Amino acid sequence: MKKLLLIVNPRAGKNKSTAPLYDAIVRLCEGGYLVNVKETKASGDATRYALELGSYYDTVVCYGGDGTLNETISGLMQLAEKPLLGYLPAGSTNDFAATLHIPAVPYMAANIITQGAPMALDVGRHNNRYFSYVASFGAFTKASYSASQDVKNALGHFAYILEGIKSLDSLRPYHCRVTADEEVIEGDFVFGSVCNSTSLAGLVKLDPNRVRMDDGVFEVVLLRMPRTALDLTSLLVALKQMQYDNPGIFFRHASKVTVETEDHIPWSLDGEYAPSTPVVNIENCHGAIQLLVNKPEE
């Protein structure tokens, strides 16, 4: 019988009932797994469990939101021999799961773990930390880590929108020099992201035809500081319609990104706060994690 470590964040998501989680555990057991459950009680617990216990299991599964997934991956990335990874999304946005079409219904996601196939997932390294799908700064970024868990649970996407609206009055440019592989761009940007997802906090959408999570490159998106309110509106419309040829949008694919700045720029890694630093080096760790996903259609 295969052994499975299930890391559970009991505070994640809107539904406080434990019944959906029990349904998922039943499916995992029926699928041939001996399941050991560990609940997180504080920040960093998922990383610690994955690092200290992960090598003793065939598969490590996390139940929670993007932050819980981030912690779990951060622990697994420190192991020499990594187990398979499974995900039961239970957060308020679940951008990562949405990109991979993993349903936010625990027993359905459990079916993918028992019946799916491993995919070699790219993982990002942001200086000495890891992220599963996005490192970002600027407009709306603060909302991803400043909205409380209770607010996220109650309002979901709307919590981020509320936080984002509150930050519009203080919309400010950040002067950066960005190197995306061999290309260099310097300017004033209101938002920047290095991502591996089609959805960022439920607000920014990327063309799914341009995003692959196993191709060794990230999608780099920079939004230039608009000069007028009309420019801002035009920029947001272009982004919503995925018109990347807009002069206010810099869009590239890159495996390595360096951001240099003298400004104070806090970052968000999968919705978790990361402090400002003058130089940020971001690298794509190609195929670093084997993630269980739906089997490809024949």
**Lowest model confidence (mean pLDDT) among 18-27, 92-101, 219-228, 272-281:** 92-101
Q: Is 250 helix (H, G, I), strand (E, B) or coil?
A: strand
The string of pLDDT tens digits covering residues 119-159 is 999 999 999 999 998 898 987 665 555 555 554 454 444 44
Distance CA(78)–CA(75), nearest Å, equals: 6
Q: Return the beta strands (E) in 65-210 as ranges.
A: 84-89, 117-126, 129-131, 134-138, 174-180, 183-195, 199-200, 204-205
pTM of the model: 0.84
pLDDT at residue number 207: 66
Distance CA(17)–CA(175), nearest Å, equals: 46
pLDDT at residue number 176: 95
The string of pLDDT tens digits covering residues 203-228 is 566 666 777 878 999 989 898 888 87
137 token code pair:
């700064």
